[in-house]
Amino acid sequence: MPTLLQPLTDSLFTQKGVEVSVLREDLLHPGIPGNKWRKLKYNLQAAQEQGCETLVTFGGAFSNHIVAVAAAGKAFWFATIGYIRGEETLPLNPTLEYAISCGMHLRYLTRTEYRLRNDASFQAEILRTASKPYLLPEGGTNLLAVKGCTEIVTELTEPWDVLCVAAGTGGTLAGMVAGAEGKGDIIGFPALKGGEFLQAEVTELVKAYSAGEAYQNWELQTNYHFGGYAKHTPELLAFIQQFYQNHGILLDPVYTGKMLFGVFELIRQDYFPKGTKVVAVHTGGQQGWAGYAQRYGLGWPPLEMTK
Ligand SMILES: *Cc1c(COP(=O)(O)O)cnc(C)c1O
């Protein structure tokens, strides 16, 4: 599969002398969104090799990871069980509706139970109820996911100076740092408030994957969370709409919209020297729009999508 690097034309970039392209990871797999496919690929292989039959995972009610695991289960003949944080709300939102349509079994955990999701004895207990289970952590981040995400960088044949990516658990960012092996600069844009915690998490993941290497050529830009995970401002929605009109690329409101807003801000602040080739990774997530629009009463479609 050739990588799809889409150059952007914008008077800001011309004025500042930088080149910006979007790496369309969102188009990578027809059913499994963006970086979630990268993160699942080697896990699915491992599950198959271990003779597992059921993918078991955790997520919030709007989670792209839940959607990805449900779709991957359907495509690769695994049963799937999704443990969802909080009570069931009916009617189901489009994310969970879709997960069920892929055959996923949903089970709800109270917020207190959900806090135990990484606890070994709690995991053992819930795995007893599944047939030949393969456990994927919330957000899908483990070392096989990091391995999959190294390929975002190693498959990129065009020259680049800076890679920009949105971060949730930081697994994708860690994979990209490991894949770059010290080359270039990589910037992660946390979608959560207080994203500074990712500094330690990503460092640990990279070290664990890269046999102790601690690469220094990456950083976090923690000012672009817009109030926190799954929060937004009118300014962010206006940016996403403008970006769609100018470039024909739909960003998502939780991750990629915030990241690209940040990229534009940094360029405006002359953060990148003239001549810098910036690649912004579109990790997908557009499925989230339907539930997001419903939750915030934004109407559907949420954007005026006429050119
Ligand atoms: C899950 C997700 C991310 C974050 O990936 P992490 O590996 O958890 O940091 C970024 N963008 C989109 C669209 C996602 O769905």
- The model's pLDDT over 281-296, given as tens digits with 9 standing for 90+, comes to 999 998 888 888 888 8
Q: Is the CB of 62 under 6 A from ligand 1?
A: no
CB 107 within 8 A of CB 83: yes
Annotated catalytic sites, by residue? Answer: 63
Closest-lying ligand 1 atom to the alpha carbon of residue 39? 7
According to DSSP H, which parts of 34-85 are helical? Answer: 34-49, 64-76
Residue listed under structure tokens 């860690």: 174
Q: Which of 255, 291, 299, 293 is nearest to 97 (CA)?
A: 291
Q: Is the CB of 195 under 6 A from ligand 1?
A: no
Q: Is the CB of 59 under 6 A from ligand 1?
A: no
Cα→Cα distances 80→30, 231, 301, Å: 19, 29, 30
Closest-lying ligand 1 atom to the alpha carbon of residue 171? 7
Distance 255 CA to ligand 1 centre (A): 7
CB 92 within 8 A of CB 121: no
Token pair of 120, please?
A: 């070994």
- Does the domain at 35-140 match CATH 3.40.50.300? Answer given as no
CB 71 within 8 A of CB 63: no
pLDDT of residue 3: 66
pLDDT of residue 306: 41
Closest-lying ligand 1 atom to the alpha carbon of residue 166? 10
Distance 168 CA to ligand 1 centre (A): 5
Q: Which of 23, 255, 286 to mutate to test the pocket of ligand 1 (most atoms within 8 A of CB)?
A: 255
Residue listed under structure tokens 């937004």: 232
Q: How many CB atoms lie within 10 A of CB 212?
A: 8
CATH architecture, range 5-32+144-306? 3-Layer(aba) Sandwich (3.40)
Residue nearest (by alpha carbon) to ligand 1 atom 2? 168
**The model scores a pTM over 0.85:** yes
Residue 147 CA, chain-centre distance (Å), reads 15
Q: Is the CB of 95 under 6 A from ligand 1?
A: no
Q: Taken in order 259, 172, 187, 205, is the CA torsion positive or negative?
A: positive
- Per DSSP, the three-state class of 291 is helix
State pLDDT tens for residues 223-250: 999 999 989 999 999 999 999 999 999 9
Q: Which of 195, 191, 286, 194 is nearest to 240 (CA)?
A: 286
Task: Provide CATH 3.40.50.1100 ranges for the chain.
Answer: 5-32+144-306, 35-140
pLDDT of residue 93: 92
pLDDT of residue 33: 80
Distance 172 CA to ligand 1 centre (A): 7
Report the amino acid identity of residue 54: T
Residue nearest (by alpha carbon) to ligand 1 atom 13? 285
| R_g over Cα of the chain | 19
pLDDT of residue 303: 65
Q: Which of 67, 55, 11 is nearest to 144 (CA)?
A: 55
Q: Is the CB of 64 under 6 A from ligand 1?
A: yes
Distance 170 CA to ligand 1 centre (A): 8
Number of H helices, E strands in the chain: 12, 10
Q: Which of 157, 57, 52 is nearest to 117 (CA)?
A: 57
Dmax (CA) for the chain in angstroms is: 60
Residue segments in the chain with a per-residue pLDDT below the cut of 70? 1-3, 300-307
